[in-house]
Amino acid sequence: MNKRWIYLLAVVSWGLSGCGYNTFQTADEQVKAGWSEVINQYQRRADLIPNLVSTVKGEAKFEQDTLTKVIEARSKATSIQATPELINDPAAFQKFQQAQGELTGALSRLMVVSEQYPNLRANQGFRDLSAQLEGTENRITVARNRYIKAVQDYNVTVRSFPSNLTAMVMGYKEKPSFTVDNEKEIAKPPSVVFDATPGKPAGAGSGAGK
């Protein structure tokens, strides 16, 4: 009797393996790991912003509307709980992506406008924070690309035969991923027009992120 159970378990294990069950486990773990790294990098960026805002506030004539938009965008982005369940909810994932994209755009506008303030550019603290922010944005890009690749591999397994049969039986569904729709436009530096008064930008941020 024991031998029969051992044989049955062996057959079931072989069947699950042959239908992609083990592949699903590996792919799912890779997606989770990739998502965790994306969140870590977004959090690193969010943690930098308060110090950046504080430093920019030291420039008396700095455009307050640009600064306010960064603060509001950060608040919106950090208000979304990036739970593991979020990566299985397309609507929630899209909302998260949009909020992070808006923060990227707001930061981009701030950095463009800051170029017009010599005192701010000469501030060592601002330069250090700018370098850290640039490095973080690069890490975000790398983490996102790895996550996109992990999701692509997972989704291919969901759709491919015979693993798609296992997906239907076990309830595995395709996961949402980052898209590039409008993202380049959101992050596009705005055109900045200045009036005749030194250090007083006019019309900064117009036309970007719409």
Three-state SS for 12-35 is: HHHHHHHCCHHHHHHHHHHHHHHH
Is residue 32, in this structure, part of any structural domain at all? yes
Is residue 62, in this structure, part of any structural domain at all? yes
pLDDT of residue 19: 63
User: Cβ neighbours of residue 190 under 8 Å, at least 6 residues apart?
Assistant: 108, 109, 112, 204, 205, 206, 207, 208, 209
CATH number of the domain to which 181 belongs: 1.20.1440.20
Is residue 154, in this structure, part of any structural domain at all? yes
Is residue 16, in this structure, part of any structural domain at all? no
Is residue 13, in this structure, part of any structural domain at all? no
Is residue 117, in this structure, part of any structural domain at all? yes
Q: How confident is the model at residue 190 (pLDDT cuts 50, 70, 90)?
A: very low
Is residue 180, in this structure, part of any structural domain at all? yes
141 is in which domain, residue-wise? 25-206
Is residue 143, in this structure, part of any structural domain at all? yes
Task: Work out how many domains the chain is built from and give that number.
Answer: 1
Task: Tell me what percent of the residues of the chain surpass a pLDDT of 90.
Answer: 55
pLDDT digits (tens, 9 = 90+) for 6-33: 444 443 444 444 567 888 889 999 999 9
pLDDT digits (tens, 9 = 90+) for 82-126: 887 889 999 999 999 999 999 999 999 999 999 999 999 899 999
Global confidence as pTM: 0.76
Of 193 and 135, the structure prediction assigns the larger pLDDT to 135
Q: Which two tokens stand for residue 102?
A: 């808006």
Give yes or no for a contact between 206 and 191, defined as CB atoms under 8 angstroms apart: yes
